[in-house]
């Protein structure tokens, strides 16, 4: 039985009538593939993502009852076999949000050890004390990059990350693999899933506890998809050297040229210059966090604007100490992994 069969069944029941039904419908429709087989593991995946939201943590029993009843009626109507024993319903789940970030690191390290082979190498990296990035280097030099927050769940007596499917897959040249499903949390309560085919990204962003489609990623290069591009580039800073990153080099080159262009320009070019500075500031605050070179070049560009009598919001120093103390120790290319 395929996911498409369950979707058709839910659609006929008017999924918008209940939040639980609508959440499952949207998740299956936008986050999975219609041709895939319907399995207990896919239902568990839905529950794991649902339990990320405070709404469903407070309404675990309701979510469990509604989805269990829906699935039982579907299986009965279609006269198929389905292993309900493998489904872990939310009402039977214990979610633990760890407060001590070192505990988050330790539990993630244990999880990484359990899921990797002897040939794999991995690094568990803290992301500003809010999340953890797990980078796994495989023998063929490809990478699996996973992200976790502070929420964990007990599975067969073992504490593991609640969501274990938020991951990006890279080839040995550190490019995102094509024709592979990539999943990422773009922002709190905003999920993205996509595939890349011939350089074009196709997928969707889902928002909120009913997994409403927020944005469609429709056949454009990654660089033209800002809603996920920034989130992906930010994660890449933990395993790609900045000087080898074309986007970083382009930002630096643009900023290096900008002061002379500003000084030589005629009136009327201000908007273009300000937009380029704002692009660099986004890169500085959200991707290359606290980068001294970009920070210094932004200051020079803003000073050039002031010399021309153009005054904008003063540039704010962000994160430079963090860069000096921590970032260089984390940013290592795969070949340097322990």
User: How many independent structural domains does the chain possess?
Assistant: 3
Helix H, strand E, coil C: the string for 115-140 is HCCCCCEEEEEEECCCEEEEEEECCC
**Domain match, 76 and 100 both:** no
Q: Flag whether 86 is in a domain.
A: yes
Q: Flag whether 226 is in a domain.
A: no
Q: Average pLDDT over the chain, rounded to whole?
A: 88
Token pair listed for 314: 């003063």
**Domain match, 82 and 44 both:** yes
**Domain match, 88 and 103 both:** no
Q: Which pLDDT tens digit goes with each residue over 135-181?
A: 999 999 999 999 999 999 998 889 999 999 999 999 999 999 999 99
Residue 311 is predicted with a pLDDT of: 60
Closest CA to 236 of 150, 139, 116, 332: 332
**Domain match, 122 and 154 both:** yes
- Domain limits for position 286: 242-336
**Domain match, 66 and 137 both:** no
| Mean pLDDT within 70-89 | 94
Q: Flag whether 235 is in a domain.
A: no
Q: Which helix (H) or strand (E) holds 168?
A: strand 167-170
Q: Flag whether 234 is in a domain.
A: no
**Domain match, 85 and 144 both:** no
**Domain match, 101 and 217 both:** yes
For the ranges 43-52, 180-189, 308-317, which has the lowest average pLDDT?
A: 308-317
Boundary (domain end) residue, out of 58, 92, 126: 92
152-158: long-range contacts, CB 8 A cutoff, minimum separation 24: 152/95, 152/96, 152/97, 152/98, 152/107, 153/48, 153/51, 153/93, 153/94, 153/95, 153/96, 154/93, 154/94, 154/96, 155/88, 158/114
Alpha-carbon distance of 230 to 233, in angstroms, equals 5
Q: Which pLDDT tens digit goes with each residue over 296-329?
A: 999 999 999 888 877 655 444 433 332 333 333 3
Q: Which pLDDT tens digit goes with each residue over 260-280?
A: 999 888 777 788 889 999 999
**Domain match, 163 and 246 both:** no
Contact (Cβ atoms closer than 8 angstroms) between residue 33 and residue 68 = no
Distance (Å) of CA 121 to CA 105, 116, 205, 212: 17, 8, 31, 37
Residue 312 is predicted with a pLDDT of: 57
Residue 193 has pLDDT above 70, yes or no: yes
Q: Flag whether 228 is in a domain.
A: no
**Domain match, 67 and 110 both:** no
Boundary (domain end) residue, out of 60, 92, 124: 92
């Amino acid at each position: 039985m395929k996911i498409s069969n369950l979707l058709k069944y839910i659609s006929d029941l008017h999924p918008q009538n209940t939040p639980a039904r609508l959440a499952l419908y949207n998740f299956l429709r936008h986050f999975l593939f219609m041709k895939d087989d319907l399995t207990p593991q896919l239902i568990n995946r839905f529950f794991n993502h649902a339990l990320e939201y405070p709404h469903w943590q407070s309404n675990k029993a309701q979510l469990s009852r509604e989805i269990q009843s829906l699935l039982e009626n579907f299986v009965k109507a279609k006269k198929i076999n389905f292993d309900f024993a493998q489904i872990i319903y939310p009402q039977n789940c214990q979610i633990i949000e760890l407060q001590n970030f070192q505990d988050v690191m330790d539990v993630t390290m244990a999880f990484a050890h359990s899921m990797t082979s002897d040939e794999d190498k991995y690094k568990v990296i803290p992301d500003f004390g809010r999340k953890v990035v797990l980078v796994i280097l495989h023998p063929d030099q490809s990478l699996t990059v996973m992200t976790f927050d502070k929420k964990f769940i007990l599975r067969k007596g073992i504490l593991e990350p609640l969501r274990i499917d938020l991951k990006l897959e890279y080839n040995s040249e550190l490019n995102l693999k094509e024709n592979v499903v990539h999943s990422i949390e773009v922002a709190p309560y905003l999920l993205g899933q996509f595939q890349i085919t011939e350089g074009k990204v196709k997928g969707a962003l889902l928002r909120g506890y009913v997994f409403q489609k927020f944005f469609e990623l429709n056949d454009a290069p990654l660089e033209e998809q800002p809603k996920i591009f920034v989130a992906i580039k930010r994660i890449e800073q933990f395993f790609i050297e900045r000087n080898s990153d074309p986007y970083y080099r382009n930002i630096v080159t643009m900023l290096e040229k900008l002061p002379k262009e500003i000084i030589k320009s005629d009136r009327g070019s201000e908007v273009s210059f300000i937009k380029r500075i704002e692009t660099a500031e986004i890169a500085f605050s959200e991707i290359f966090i606290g980068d001294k070179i970009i920070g210094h070049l932004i200051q020079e560009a803003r000073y050039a604007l002031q010399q021309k009598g153009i005054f904008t919001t003063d540039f704010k120093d962000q994160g430079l100490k963090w860069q000096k103390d921590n970032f260089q120790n984390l940013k290592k290319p795969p070949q340097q992994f322990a």
